[in-house]
Amino acid sequence: MQNRKITLRSNGLPTDMRNPFRRSKDISLELAPPQQAREISNLHTKCFDREWGTAEIANLIEQDNVLCIIAKEVGKPKAAPLAFAMVRIAADEAEILSIGVDPSERRTGIATKILEEITRRLHAERTKKLFLEVDLANQPAVNLYKQLRFKSIAERPSYYQHDNGEKSAALVMRLDLV
């Protein structure tokens, strides 16, 4: 039998299984003001190995063609965001620059809600296609995008180099909005 390491939640369920008893917090989705850049940068650090600086995030948020949505717990407008997603729009196409959910809030549907809000807004802007690039080894993210009907359109072998020296492919995906 394959020796598969499984991490368990405190309730005993494997972390790669949805917990049917866990509901997401009630969240509100809003456009991020540049003043939230520091908190988005802190959240990014919790989600990725590489840092994304406050100044760079603030600079992006201020650009007219960038859409940055954050999720906050309802009733806690001053609390740090639970999740963020950033998209760049160019003509009738858009690209997801980054998306991350606080590790303690994952697998409760927050990323799905943010991406649904983004596609709703892009649709209103008459954007035709939404692209993204994801590490093929990032199973949670690949599953998320497939569930939202993104299609795989290209693969770039050995694109990502990990700290342990291993390499993995990048998957380019596209969602048709019209």
Ligand X SMILES: CC(C)(COP(=O)(O)OP(=O)(O)OC[C@H]1O[C@@H](n2cnc3c(N)ncnc32)[C@H](O)[C@@H]1OP(=O)(O)O)[C@@H](O)C(=O)NCCC(=O)NCCS
What does the binding site for ligand X look like in residue numbers (CB under 6 A)? 15-16, 18, 47-48, 99-101, 106-112, 134, 138-141, 143-144, 147
Q: What is the CA radius of gyration of the chain?
A: 17
Distances (CA, A) of 169 to 38, 61, 87, 137, 154: 31, 29, 22, 7, 10
Round to whole Å and give the CA distance between 32 and 118: 13
Interatomic CA distance for residues 70 and 80, integer angstroms: 10
Tell me the C-alpha distance between 127 and 119, whole Å: 9
CB of 84 to ligand X, least distance (A): 9
170 or 177: whose CB is closer to ligand X? Answer: 170
Q: For the sheet containing 151-161, what is the strand order?
A: 27-31, 66-73, 83-90, 93-101, 129-135, 167-176, 151-161
Q: Which is nearer to ligand X, 7 or 164 (CB)?
A: 7
Closer of 121 and 126 to ligand X (Cβ): 121
State the minimum distance, in angstroms, from the CB of residue 13 to ligand X.
11
Nearest residue (CB) to ligand X, 107 versus 127? 107
- Residue closer to ligand X by CB (options 49, 64) is 49
Please, where are the H alpha helices in the chain? 37-47, 54-61, 110-124, 139-147
Q: Minimum Å distance from CB 126 to ligand X?
A: 25
Min dist CB 65 to ligand X, Å, is 20
Shortest reach from residue 54's CB to ligand X, in Å? 18
